Amino acid sequence: MANIDLTTNGWVDLIFEGRNHEYGAYKLRKGTPKRNVYSIIVIAVLAALLVGVYVAKSAYDKYQAAHAKNEAVTELSALNQPKQKKAEVKRKEIVEPEKKEVVKEVKSSIKFTAPVIKKDNEVKPEEEMKTQAELMQTNTAIGALDVKGNSDNGEILKVTQRVADEPVKPAEEKPEVENKVFEVVEQMPSFPGGPSALMKYLSENIKYPVVAQENGVQGRVVVSFVVERDGSITDVKVARSVDPSLDREAMRVVRSMPHWIPGKQNGSAVRVKYNVPVSFRLQ
């Protein structure tokens, strides 16, 4: 039997010689060589890919092994190096020099006493008045009280003094109570309960004068007064007049008001002048 090449169609023509070529089997066998060629190419490509993957994996493994060795050598070399000591910074405490004390020399003095007239037999020798010459020879001074110093005997009266100049704090002076009457302060005086309570108080306590009602007089009287530091009302005056009868009634009501909450300036209660309008209206 002759050798048959599977990549050609010669064997197909040999088998189907003298037969119907329109038969489906003939066409199927006719395409077999092409399929064989494709299969061989695909198998060759797959084999080449497998070989390439194997070679790449082997090269990568060799690279990883070599890199791991280098890291191990680096770590071993780092371990063999001596550890360096960290620099320590110690904080040095500042010692302040002691302040020396200076002892001043203090001269003895005796208290001055006013002379008292006595009889000669009642005067003791030590109480006799000394002459000017005797006073000049003594080392004792005359003061407001008896002081025993260190200038004429072995006893020492110490007077200490700071060597370093220290600032002397001024004595805190209590704020003097001012009699000045302010018109505007940080915290103005107020009626207990606020403005609404003030209006209610005025409306409930005002008595409309009969003379003003008969004459049909109405209007708004402005009354000025001073709220003292204790909240009391003083110096009530009419700042804006409408009618003498209305003015008197407005002043009466203002004087009868209860103590206010005093005004404050710099945290202290002060005297404050205040104006309140009192309205009179006929219904």
Q: What is the mean pLDDT of residues 212-224?
A: 92
**pLDDT average, residue stretch 224-245:** 94
Please name the fold of domain 181-280: TolA/TonB C-terminal domain (3.30.2420)
Mean pLDDT value across residues 129-156: 61
% of the chain at pLDDT higher than 70: 49
pLDDT for the residue 179: 83
- Tokens 């010669």 correspond to what residue? 10
* Model pLDDT, residue 282: 84
More confident site: 24 or 40: 40
Band (274; pLDDT cuts 50, 70, 90):
very high
Answer whether 278's CB lies under 8 Å from 254's CB. Answer: yes
Q: What is the pLDDT of residue 68?
A: 66
- Per the CB < 8 A criterion, the answer to whether 161 and 102 are in contact is yes
HEC assignment per residue over the chain? CCCCCCCCCHHHHHHCCCCCCCCHHHHHHHCHHHHHHHHHHHHHHHHHHHHHHHHHHHHHHHHHHHHHHHHHHHHHHHHHCCCCCCCCCCCCCCCCCCCCECCCCCCCEEECCCCCCCCHHHCCHHHCCCCHHHHHHCCCEEECCCECCCCCCCCCCCCCCECCCCCCCCCCCCCCCCCCEECCCCECCECCCCHHHHHHHHHHHCCCCHHHHHHCCCEEEEEEEEECCCCCEEEEEEEECCCHHHHHHHHHHHHCCCCCECEEECCEEEEEEEEEEEEECCC
Residue 259, pLDDT > 70, answer yes
Domain positions in the chain: 101-116+135-161, 181-280
Q: What is the pLDDT of residues 37-91, one digit of tens each?
A: 888 899 999 999 999 999 998 888 888 887 765 554 455 445 555 555 555 656 6
Phi, psi of 182 (to 5 degrees): -90, 150
| H runs (alpha helix) in 128-259 | 132-137, 195-205, 210-215, 244-255
pTM value is: 0.39
Q: Pick the residue with more confidence: 241 or 96?
A: 241
Separation between Cα atoms, residue 6 and residue 9, nearest integer Å? 7
